Amino acid sequence: MRPALGQDVLIPRYADTPRMTTRKESKNRHNKYYFRQKIHEKKQTDLNASFQTPGGARNSNLGWLVNFGHWRYARPQMKGLSMLTVTLLCNPKTPVLEPALADALRNAWGGGDVIWLADGAACEFQINHRPDTFENTWAEMQNMQVDLNVLPSENRKKKILLADMDSTMIQQECIDELAAQAGVGAKVANITARAMNGELDFEAALRERVGLLSGLSVDVIDTVWSDRITMMPGGKTLLATMKANGAYAALVSGGFTEFTSRVAEKLGFDENRANTLLKSGGTLSGQVGMPILGQDAKVEALQDVTQMLGLSPKDVIAVGDGANDLGMLTLAGTGVALHAKPSVQEKADIRINHGDLTALLFLQGYAASEFE
């Protein structure tokens, strides 16, 4: 609740002057405060007007953000605390992130200065604890096509990228595209969706789907690659920027080496791991090589790569969308659920639904001007 003018309350000063003062100790600043209050009330009116739904009505659910606008000068002391970074970002092709929204949220959560990483597309500020209102605020931001995340400020720039392939580094599920060529696309796509949402055992579901490809010409793999597979926006920039800063990149997929090898070469991954489609006489046999690379194998890949490089899981940023990615997302220092299945979003701490793969750079604190 906003205190009455002149009430004796403690106000945290800025970080470079940590002493606590009272308003009565600052009587000589009373008039200055009064006029500042009036200025903030004017800004409050402007901000209220700016929070409109597409239809023109004010978004009352965000009113609590705006109502904290006049407390900007009373931010908490932040020195010596384990800080967190709040990131707001959206699809860079349709930048909808407004400074008024970022400032209002910063004020409501008592944050530091807003730093813009990309005009209209990404910004960040620091706080000293995760707000109790985070989940409700996250939902409101989603309605505004904005991704909101809170992550530790320390060690944000990672030294290893561990990425899933299907629906992550590429926009399709390779096995669904192969199945479409075999005339069983709808059936396989349904199994894929359920498996990726954690409703089916991954290994059993993979064997069933590969079995439906039996007899398909191996030449179809080339056709699918050239005609049906497209890269996820931002992937090339993500790889180039992280590698220019000394990072190692590994592509780890529950899909197939016939595709991961090509994606790795195209985007610049240092290594790739995936399952193998067995062949016989120029056609797919309907079997997959053993052992199957599933959730446990992705965790093992993370452990192998960190051990090889003498690093720890805290140095990894991992990204994926399916239930078989949860193990590596949980173990990594930063685990990102990108356009993920509902069951994955329920368990993931960091979720990107509107941004592209450059969101992983913004989460690490890279500005767009630093992109390769």
DSSP annotation of 75 reads P
Distance between CA atoms of residues 237 and 287, nearest Å: 36
Omega before residue 18 within 30° of 0, cis:
no
Q: Which candidate in 147, 166, 321, 325 is catalytic?
A: 166
**Of residues 184, 159, 206, the one with CA closest to residue 322:** 206
Q: How many CA atoms lie within 13 A of 103 on its CB side?
A: 19
What DSSP character marks residue 307? H
End-to-end Cα spacing for the chain: 47
Residue 52 bridge partners (DSSP): 58
Of 147, 164, 176, 325, which is the active-site residue? 164
Residues 6+ apart with CB under 8 A from 111: 75, 86, 105, 125, 126, 127
Q: How many helices and strands, by DSSP H and E, does the chain display?
A: 14, 14
Contact present, 166 and 258 (Cβ < 8 Å): no
Question: What is the maximal distance between C-alpha atoms in the chain?
Answer: 91
Instruction: Look up 166 and say whether it is catalytic.
Output: yes
CB neighbours (10 Å) of residue 229?
A: 17
Name the helix (H) or strand (E) containing 303. helix 295-309
321 is known as an active-site residue = no
Distance, CA of 263 to chain centre? 21
| Active site residues per annotation | 164, 166
